[in-house]
Amino acid sequence: MPRDFTTGINWGREFKSSFAAALWMCLLTCPMVAFKINAAENTIDYRWNYLIYVAAGTFILSGVWRFMLARRDYIRQSKAEAEFEGPAPDAPRGPAKTWVDVVMSSKYRNQGIGVGLLVLASLPLWASPYTINILITALIYISLGLGLNIVVGVSGLLNLGYVAFYAIGAYTYALLNHYFGLGFWVCLPLGALASTLMGLMLGFPVLRLRGDYLAIVTLGFGEIVRLVLVNMGDITMGPRGISNISPPSLFGLDLNKVVKPVLLEWVPTMSPNLDLNKAFLFFIMMAVVIITIVVVFRLENSRLGRAWLAMREDEIACQAMGIDRTRAKLTAFALGATWAGLAGVVFAAQVTFINPTSFTFMQSVMILSIVVLGGMGSIPGVIIGALVLILLPEYLRAFSDYRMLIFGALMVLMMVFRPGGLIQSVRETYVYKPLEGGAGGEAKK
């Protein structure tokens, strides 16, 4: 029966609720919107027409809101009904496929990824320095998001101090560069290692904690690291930060002096203002992100990854299955921190000046938002989440006054309509291929 969700709607009631919402909003905003004190003439200006705008706007938004809710409930219910009736006999079993799966399982997957990578790699030849710069930032956040995803999305350990590891990576490079003149390539693994060790150090005291308690301890950890950086002025220069961090080198070649003139001559579309060191960093970050994706994917679908998932789902049952909880937790913290360390080193090389204000709690919240908005535990979700949350504000500079407002509204809407994130994580399905002789073969898809 072709039935849509508008049939069950009681229009009168909906109208009334919207009207009530509009009235309520008018009352709420009346003092702010309708009265304006004219200080010059010492009178009050009444702006009743503003109230009408508020009322009209609220009325419409409230209607849209409930329309969307009704639609969501309708979809849920029809899904539940379909499940109740049982699947069609030839319907494939297993979790529903998202569009990402459709794309990723298509014939042209490899070609598609190849073309995408080529387009990305060619960006420095035609895009503006500004674009390259914010893309580096976006890539850094993808890496951060994927790292945090191991801890929060896969292992279910809420970490609100993730930015600490990012700071440790960045400061490892900045300090080693400042005091000992060590280069980017030496510091990249060192930064990652330092973060990993700090991850282990944080892991030990929180072994017994979970949920709210874990969140608070990690939050405290993030703040401690930041405060240490601020107050250890003798070493870290405190709030003044460390400047003149060297960009990455390519076999000691000065890219801007040697390569740039040649490139400018041959590639007319290249921006003359482009700092080739930034372009190089962009490639490095692309490589880091690709490695991160491969590693995180492999981890998730391994014995270790399953142990993390089991820990997320039920800690007691996970131990009863013979999983060493201590090890699972420590590896999750340490491996999650590694990526933040790598990203931190690249960040220090990108901005060449760091101080503790780059590593506040807001950054942790931002990274966590990327994971939650994108979809906990889903790699494509985290990538999309990072792109949305980092690139949108950059390109919507015109709305920068309302950025936090839009951000908050977006979060609320996401949690109501897509609680699983933009791209929900889908468990890998297994296909059973019977072999001759009664033996069975099992293959991953």
Partner 1 sequence: MTENVMNNPASIIETQDVSMIFGGLVALDEVNFRVEKGSITALIGPNGAGKTTFFNCLTGIYTPTRGRILFKAPQPEGGDQVVPLRGLSPDKVTTLGVARTFQNIRLFNNLTVLENVLIGCHCRMKAGLWGALFRDKNTMAEENAMAEYSYQLLEKYGLSRAVNDLAKNLPYGDQRRLEIVRALATRPSLLLLDEPAAGLNINETRELKDLIHLIRDRENLSILLIEHDMSLVMSISEKVYVMEYGRVIAQGGPLEIKNDPAVIKAYLGEE
Residues that bind partner 1 (CB under 8 A): 83, 93-95, 295, 298-299, 302-307, 309-310, 313-314, 316-325, 331, 335, 427, 429-430, 432, 440-444
Give the C-alpha separation, 150 to 336, whole Å.
6
Smallest separation, CB 81 to partner 1 (Å): 15
Q: How far is the CB of 303 from partner 1 (least distance, A)?
A: 5
The vertex-22 CA angle with 18 and 28, nearest 5°, equals: 140
CB of 414 to partner 1, least distance (A): 19
**Between residues 174 and 188, which has the closer beta carbon with respect to partner 1?**
188
Closer by beta carbon to partner 1, 45 or else 313: 313
Q: Measure the CA–CA gap between 379 and 104, rounded to whole angstroms.
A: 12
Sequence-distant contacts of 178-187: CB under 8 A, at least 24 apart? 178/242, 178/244, 178/245, 183/246, 183/248, 183/249, 184/246, 184/247, 184/248, 184/249, 184/345, 184/349, 185/248, 185/249, 187/345
Cβ nearer to partner 1, comparing 138 with 310: 310
Supply the minimum distance, in Å, between the C-beta of residue 104 and partner 1.
Answer: 17
Q: Say how far apart CA 228 and CA 171 lie, in whole Å.
A: 12
DSSP 58-71: HHHHHHHHHHHHHH
| Smallest separation, CB 182 to partner 1 (Å) | 26
* Phi/psi-derived region of residue 432, left when phi > 0, alpha when psi is between -120 and 50, beta in every other case: beta
Comparing CB distances to partner 1, the nearer of 100 and 279 is 100
Cα–Cα distance for residue pair 38/284, rounded to 1 Å: 57
Query: Which of the 8 DSSP states describes residue 400?
Result: G
Our CB check for partner 1 shows the closer of 167 and 307 to be 307
- Of the pair 13, 79, the CB lying nearest partner 1 is at 79
- Burial call 399-436: b when 16+ CB within 10 Å, e when fewer: eeeeeeeebeeeeeebeeeeebbbbbbbeeeeeeeeee
Q: By C-beta, is 237 or 423 nearer to partner 1?
A: 423
Nearest distance from residue 100's CB to partner 1, in Å?
Answer: 17
Stated as kind and residue range, the H or E segment containing 194 is helix 184-203
Nearer to partner 1, 276 or 376 (CB): 376
Neighbours of 91 (CB within 10 A): 9
8 A C-beta contact, residue 198 and residue 165: yes
Least distance between partner 1 and beta carbon 31 (Å)? 47
Q: Smallest gap, in angstroms, from Cβ of residue 334 to partner 1?
A: 10
Structure tokens at 278: 């930034």
Residue 264: both structure tokens together: 């400018």
